[in-house]
Structure 1
Amino acid sequence: MHPALFLLLLCPATPHRRRALLPVALLVWLLRAVPALGQQAPARPVPPSPDFSLEQCLQYALSNQPLIRQARLDEQTNEADIRIGLAGWLPQVNLTGNAQHYFQLPFTVFPNEQGQQVPRQIGLRNTSTFSLAGTQALYNNEVWLALRSARPSRVLYRQITQTAQTNVVADVSKAFFDVLLSQRQLGVYQADITRLQRALKDARARYDAGVSDKIDFKQAEISLNTSLAARKQVAESIKAKTAFLKQLMGLPNEQALQLRYDTLRLEQDALADTTLGVNPTNRLEYQQLQTEKALQAAQIGYYRWAFLPALSAYGNYNTVFQNNEFSRLYSRRFPSSFAGVQLALPVFTGTRRLQNLRRARLLDERLDEDLVATRNLITTEYEQALATYKGYFADYQLGKRNLALSQEVYDVVNLQYREGIKPYLDVLVAQTTLRTAQLNYYVALFQVLSSKVDLQRARGELPINY
């Protein structure tokens, strides 16, 4: 039970005692509520499992990336600004009160019976006034601008948030593929080291048996050391790339991160339709400029119609208390009330309105030029992204074929070496070729995936809903 309620229940049923304890109970309630107010901000969710697929990485980033959180806060701030501007359409009501005491009553000059001007003191020494005044805007150019700008302003900030989401999706996807590439490279080097260790052991045994000279196992040892050094470099790079991915996701650095993926699905995802064109209106950059033109149109309308008068209605209710004795000041009141309509017409503003109107129209023309430049830029970006994707996809297809051929060559040469037909140098060359083919294949695969992200982004089709 709440302590304030418990305090009221324990007090006697006497009404005046309960009224006396009511402020105390309210104070207790406020003291308990204040700490709770500081704990309203929810903590960022931490996934229970460290395994992340690409979709889960994007979901987490879209919820926790600081840039996206800032963009959403900007949306809320803009909404507050809109409501502040639209508040001018609502009635504005003010209540004022004052009390004053005259040590000397003011003098007023009145004519007497002879027509002479004689000063006289009038009024009462104690006066208190309460006034309730209200105004209602019927037409005002300022609040009309706020009304016309509300919708495009909301759209603009929503587009800014979507732009931030698009950037995060693109960056997180590329970083995800970059980490996967290093992990696959690490696997290639690990498999290569296993083969070299086995080859080194066989070459050493052949040398000890007098079948071959020491050149074979020396070459095997050199290749093994080279692969060990390369594996160490790749293993260290994975740590740095994983930290960068965590930063892009907004994931705490102490949180474990293990990537989960399906190679077959990645190969399927690498395919993209290159016959589609590009529509600049799908790009958020172009849409933002169109929204800015809508806001600029509202600004032009504001200056164009700024010569119109502002019309408002007002009302006032006053209550005056007067008495020479302060203890009886509020014993009698003298009310008064009135209502009216006010018209304010700007007669001459030093051509400021015309200059502002001219400036607003020039800014609108500049936005038109921005639209043309952005359309050309989008077309260029698309052509570059398309060319890059096609080039990487061709490398990927050749790399996949070379990988299959290199594996077949290595298997045959290794078998022939074991049968004494081929020298160890041929095995070493085939093994190096296989390792290079594997590395080239994975590099090409993840380059295709990254370039597909750029291609989708250039088209304005990169999904941001996960």
Structure 2
Amino acid sequence: MNYWPTEDKRRTIALLVAFLLPFLAFSQTTPTPAENGTLENASLDDIVKYALKNQPSIQQSLIDERITENTIKNKLADWYPQINFNYNFQHNFIVQTSIIGGNPVKLGVNNLSSTQFTVSQALFNRDVLLANRTKNDVRLQASQITTNNKTDLAVSVSKAFYDVLATMQQISVTREDIVRLERSLKDAQNQYKAGIVDKIDFKRATIALNNTKAAKKSNEEILTAKLEYLKSLMGYPKEQALKLQYDSLQMEREIFLDTLQNAEYGSRIEYQLLNTQKKLLDYNLQYQKWSYLPTVSANGAYNLNFQNNRFVDLYGKNFPNSFMALTLSLPIYQGGKRKTNINTAEWQIKRVDLDIQRLKMNIDAEYANALSAYKANLIELLAQKDNMDLAKEVYDIIQLQYKSGIKTYLEVITSEADLRLARINYYSSLYQVLASKVDVQKALGQINF
């Protein structure tokens, strides 16, 4: 007999399925290629993110940050009380003898043992004081080095990405030309067989087709090398395929930038890094001046002393002692070393000031060069776009005229070559503009990670 109503059973099953469905879906979810360490249909953003995560040089920079953090902790540990324990056992084969009142007297016993607990606390120590004052700037310097490496890597990866796309577009253009030339070759063959034209057109079509196929093969080999270079920048597995995803129309919309901007030194990570270095050198100058001050520390000890002629009774009785002391150490004369160190620290600051001045000039020159290259490439791109449109129009007209018997096949081949060259030049100019735009953004300090 069934004591469970049907309606309640259905409601319970529905609730159970609703509860378990997310877990079942999660358990059946397959990891994305990125989770497996590879990319599929990767955009520029995907590639840059992958490179920043997997490039060994970036991983080394992150490790350097951890090493720096541990070094700081190691230096700051000297501010804490230092507690130590020592143990000693000594057996005297011949106990020392002294003459006291004309009589020889043995001073000591056969067996000695001692344990010692010591505590010391630094009250003023210029090494520890320097570590405490510079800890934040040292961390910042390590972080800025990582940022600088990431910025350089992102720029290199972006340029390599555009370089690969330019070659891919050349292959795509030649692939379309091969289809068109094969169709033209077939037309030439048919016209030759029909006796309309001689075999010259047929041979010219064959030559053009062979040259285009050779160009395609050459570009494919070049593409393989450029992809390997991009993989090396990314830290991408060599044996894994890398498929790029891009939108030419979107890229055409992204070619423009504001050319009226001025270079801001403070936004450049190199400038920030030099400023941090100068702050650390200022601390070093202060550290050298502290060398005229004493080192002060408090320390104390508690000793347990055991003495007995018989080893088995050695630890039967203890003769303890303890003390506390204040130690002040002041170097009086060191042959002029401290003055020399101070002068060196001052010259180091002056030198980094010149580094900052030189960097400013380099940034101005870098920005001017990058901006002029961007403008020149943009002008070239606009001209190549017009040339491509005109070449397409000329080719279509000559193709119709050739079929009507007005133009020769040589003119068809020439127009095809002009169209292919115009398209290749256009796409090459497009990616050159995008690459030069990256240089401008880097010069402006707009690429930071």
Question: TM above 0.5, one fold?
Answer: yes
Whether 1:137 aligns to 2:122 is yes
Whether 1:430 aligns to 2:420 is no
Q: Distance in 2 between matches of 1:48 and 1:359?
A: 51
Bigger Cα displacement from structure 2, 421-430 vs 284-293 = 421-430
Which residue number in structure 2 is paired with residue 91 of structure 1?
81
Letter in 2 for 1:331: G
TM superposition score normalised by structure 1: 0.86
1:134 alignment partner, SS class: strand
Q: 2:62 aligns with which of 64, 69, 72?
A: 72
Which residue number in structure 2 is paired with residue 54 of structure 1?
44
Q: Distance in 2 between matches of 1:271 and 1:66?
A: 33
2:291 alignment partner, SS class: coil
Q: Distance in 1 between matches of 2:407 and 2:428?
A: 31
Which residue number in structure 1 is paired with residue 12 of structure 2?
none
Which residue number in structure 2 is paired with residue 102 of structure 1?
92
CA RMSD of the aligned region, Å?
A: 1.6
1:313 alignment partner, SS class: strand
Is the 2:391–2:415 Cα contact (8 Å) retained in structure 1?
Answer: yes
Which residue number in structure 2 is paired with residue 278 of structure 1?
263
Q: How does 1:180-195 map to 2 (within 5 A)?
A: 180-195=165-180
2:424 alignment partner, SS class: helix
Is the 2:162–2:431 Cα contact (8 Å) retained in structure 1?
Answer: yes
Give identity over the alignment, percent: 42
Q: Distance in 2 between matches of 1:383 and 1:333?
A: 83
Is the 1:179–1:241 Cα contact (8 Å) retained in structure 2?
Answer: yes
Q: Distance in 2 between matches of 1:190 and 1:297?
A: 63
1:96 alignment partner, SS class: strand
Q: How far is 1:123 from its partner?
A: 2.7
Regions of 4+ moved over 6 Å: none
Is the 1:149–1:298 Cα contact (8 Å) retained in structure 2?
Answer: yes
Letter in 2 for 1:234: N
Is the 2:147–2:448 Cα contact (8 Å) retained in structure 1?
Answer: no
Is the 2:119–2:301 Cα contact (8 Å) retained in structure 1?
Answer: yes
Q: How far is 1:49 from its partner?
A: 4.5
Which residue number in structure 2 is paired with residue 9 of structure 1?
none
Q: How does 1:67-466 map to 2 (within 5 A)?
A: 67-111=57-101, 117-464=102-449
Q: How far is 1:48 from its partner?
A: 5.0
Q: Distance in 2 between matches of 1:85 and 1:351?
A: 27
Is the 2:395–2:419 Cα contact (8 Å) retained in structure 1?
Answer: yes
Q: How far is 1:47 from its partner?
A: 2.9
* CA shift digits 1:100-148 (9 cap, x unpaired): 122222223433xxxxx43311333222100001110000111112222
Bigger Cα displacement from structure 2, 330-339 vs 202-211 = 330-339
2:104 alignment partner, SS class: strand
* CA shift digits 1:254-297 (9 cap, x unpaired): 11111111112211222222111101121122112111111110
TM superposition score normalised by structure 2: 0.89
Is the 1:50–1:258 Cα contact (8 Å) retained in structure 2?
Answer: yes
Q: Distance in 2 between matches of 1:290 and 1:243?
A: 37
Give unmatched runs, 5+ long, in structure 1: 1-43, 112-116
Is the 1:281–1:287 Cα contact (8 Å) retained in structure 2?
Answer: yes
Letter in 2 for 1:99: F
Task: Tell me the matched-pair count.
Answer: 416
Which residue number in structure 2 is paired with residue 63 of structure 1?
53
* CA shift digits 1:288-335 (9 cap, x unpaired): 211111111011001112111111000101111222221121122122
Is the 1:50–1:255 Cα contact (8 Å) retained in structure 2?
Answer: no
1:305 alignment partner, SS class: helix
2:263 alignment partner, SS class: coil
* CA shift digits 1:368-420 (9 cap, x unpaired): 11111110011000000000000001111121222222222222221222233
